[in-house]
Structure 1
């Protein structure tokens, strides 16, 4: 059986130094080595991406191994198989001859098999009187035997890489969920802080991830998301500690005061005069003072214009110049949308008085975004106005819901 020498390909197939190097490497392989052929095949399947092989190339390699009669690859018994293309195609699940030739070339280029071409390019074998093969021309499986240890190490490395990738994705999913729910809880319960900025950072981290990210990209996003989670937790911890201190002071001094948890100025120091005014002008539980209204409006305005436009992209079509770049243009677009949706001028004016013109425009953008699900835009806006008068209206949950819906819609489309 021919082993340990260099042969050139038949016909117009060119010879290359890489082929020479591969054949010399086989000549230097350990004599007497044996390996279970299907174990080597499984290692090749595991590491196929490292060789740039397609699934059909593995089907062709599987077919070649079925023509080797023994269960173990053993150089002493010869490692050249010589099936015809027709036989190979049948055992490779009926792939076409063009595809078969291409995948055989891919296996050769990957250094997993070698060609042993006859003088006329046909595949056959010479046998002695006892029926044993003396010389065979076809495909040499010796590279699989010579590279068995290398293939096993590659398979282990690929499996470990896949495990690291899966764990990184799981950690990112959990961290992403934590940040998302912490932001939503903080906004819904009126925790002070620039949650619009935090939301923008959260969306930016996810936007930088490609559709099919690699492990390094997932790990980079995980690092950023973990830092953001720490920042959110620090903000909430500071507020909770401050609330506890205020609660202890109230209990010790037997002092009851009206606290507005939705105000973004909760941690700002105030003068003694301001404190006195707060105690003297304490409102009735069923009434809302201008100061309370101002605090609620400031809470709503914590959301930047860019966030409103991301949550309500349809409003940009009604901008003065086909777009919106500032609050004034958003308010102008809201007037157009008001008329289009049949909201009366009086209803919109009441909303502006109760919420402020910027907040009323943002609410109008939200109504436009959900217009398919709202029977009466005017009635809906009046209801928001009444809730705003009672101090029950918050723009945050509306924007968060629309942002989440738009993000899901974008993923489905992409």
Structure 2
């Protein structure tokens, strides 16, 4: 059997409800010695008022009611019932009208935050014993507030956390919106490749889906979409930056070459020559080959297209322009040149020509001598000759004079690079490159 001493019914025409009975059952078992700071509990209830469905005016009435509780700590030891009259409550509730006061008191009772303990005549008062202690009081019981304190604090903490999360999400959303708008703007200004008008329409459609009064869940989904869009935009712009950096690097390389007074240096396709010639000198050679050696003695890969390097046309129309060889053959015949390339590698004609400038300085060849060689032989062939000279540097007494002699012979049609490369290739015993 349930103890019915805690059950109280309303006075007059106010009816009893199952909800009121349930609230009284929930509030009957308060943990022994439990006490709650009434103002901390009130502030938590203000945070969680949407959960309990009470208005700010109802909270103002509750604040006035709690001010009549004699102690700051709500507990059974300090009593559970407050009994101010409606006139006193109205004054402490900033002059609220009596009808409005009764309506909000009823709302607090319906929300299970207060329990009515009405006297036989409906008046609120306390009966005291001979010692002046309160023996019995009639008014509003705060037992529900004590019993539900943990629930109220938990709801308040969750709402505060949700509000903080909403604030952080809004901040991140604002930053992401700003980033995307400005990144699209710069992409359109720089004419970066990509359908940026479509990306802009996608951006606007995502923003249009944001509700006017969004919850944190609504904004989290929108933020995820915007962050994905921002990531895609950044990937496209990073590719554009890489392209610009590559172009800037190539431009710097070209300016570096032009500073040595070299002009019209163009990157070549691999080419080869089968024209025989005798070496530049008899006693100081890079790769002495007999001038009688003919093209069938060179094991050059077939299928390569021979191309004339950029160079001056010979003064004698009957003299054929000097032709270049495949880059891989040059690297195999002159492996030491790779040490002077970028990161220890020579992977293109541009790399070889850049390395040749460094080697030219190291060998003591004047800029004018190298300029003349480039004009007569072409920049690729001049770089090839420099690579060959590096490979046999210990056998050359005057590198500048030697290069000028080769340039003069090339201009007269008396010099070819093929025999020089083949001699160096055979000295390394490269398979497939020896004479037949």
TM-score w.r.t. structure 1 length?
Answer: 0.58
After superposition, where does 1:4-403 map in structure 2 within 5 Å?
5-249=6-250
Using the TM superposition, give the Cα deviation of residue 133 of structure 1 relative to its aligned residue in structure 2, in angstroms.
1.8
Using the TM superposition, give the Cα deviation of residue 188 of structure 1 relative to its aligned residue in structure 2, in angstroms.
2.2
Whether the aligned pair in 1 keeps the contact of 2:28 and 2:143 (CA below 8 Å) is: no
Using the TM superposition, give the Cα deviation of residue 125 of structure 1 relative to its aligned residue in structure 2, in angstroms.
2.0
Call closer, same or farther: CA 1:142–1:256 in 2, change over 3 Å: farther
CA–CA distance in 2 between the matches of 1:186 and 1:222?
Answer: 22
Using the TM superposition, give the Cα deviation of residue 3 of structure 1 relative to its aligned residue in structure 2, in angstroms.
9.7
Using the TM superposition, give the Cα deviation of residue 250 of structure 1 relative to its aligned residue in structure 2, in angstroms.
5.5
How many pairs are equivalent?
A: 256
Using the TM superposition, give the Cα deviation of residue 248 of structure 1 relative to its aligned residue in structure 2, in angstroms.
4.2
Whether the aligned pair in 2 keeps the contact of 1:46 and 1:158 (CA below 8 Å) is: yes
Q: Secondary structure at the match of 2:74?
A: strand
Note the alpha carbon deviations across 1:28-68, whole angstroms, 9 max, x for none. Answer: 22133222221211221222222122211111111011111
Note the alpha carbon deviations across 1:227-275, whole angstroms, 9 max, x for none. Answer: 1101111111122223333444556578899xxxxxxxxxxxxxxxxxx
Q: What's the counterpart of residue 280 of structure 1?
A: none
Call closer, same or farther: CA 1:251–1:72 in 2, change over 3 Å: closer
Note the alpha carbon deviations across 1:311-350, whole angstroms, 9 max, x for none. Answer: xxxxxxxxxxxxxxxxxxxxxxxxxxxxxxxxxxxxxxxx
Note the alpha carbon deviations across 1:149-205, whole angstroms, 9 max, x for none. Answer: 222222222211111111111111111111111111112232232121111111111
Call closer, same or farther: CA 1:181–1:51 in 2, change over 3 Å: same
CA–CA distance in 1 between the matches of 2:93 and 2:130?
Answer: 33
Runs of 4+ in 1 over 6 A off after TM superposition: 253-257
TM-score w.r.t. structure 2 length?
Answer: 0.55
Whether the aligned pair in 1 keeps the contact of 2:48 and 2:156 (CA below 8 Å) is: yes
Greater radius of gyration (CA): 2
For structure 1, the residue ranges without an aligned partner over 5 or more in a row are 258-414
Higher helix share: 1
Using the TM superposition, give the Cα deviation of residue 144 of structure 1 relative to its aligned residue in structure 2, in angstroms.
1.3
For structure 2, the residue ranges without an aligned partner over 5 or more in a row are 256-263, 267-436
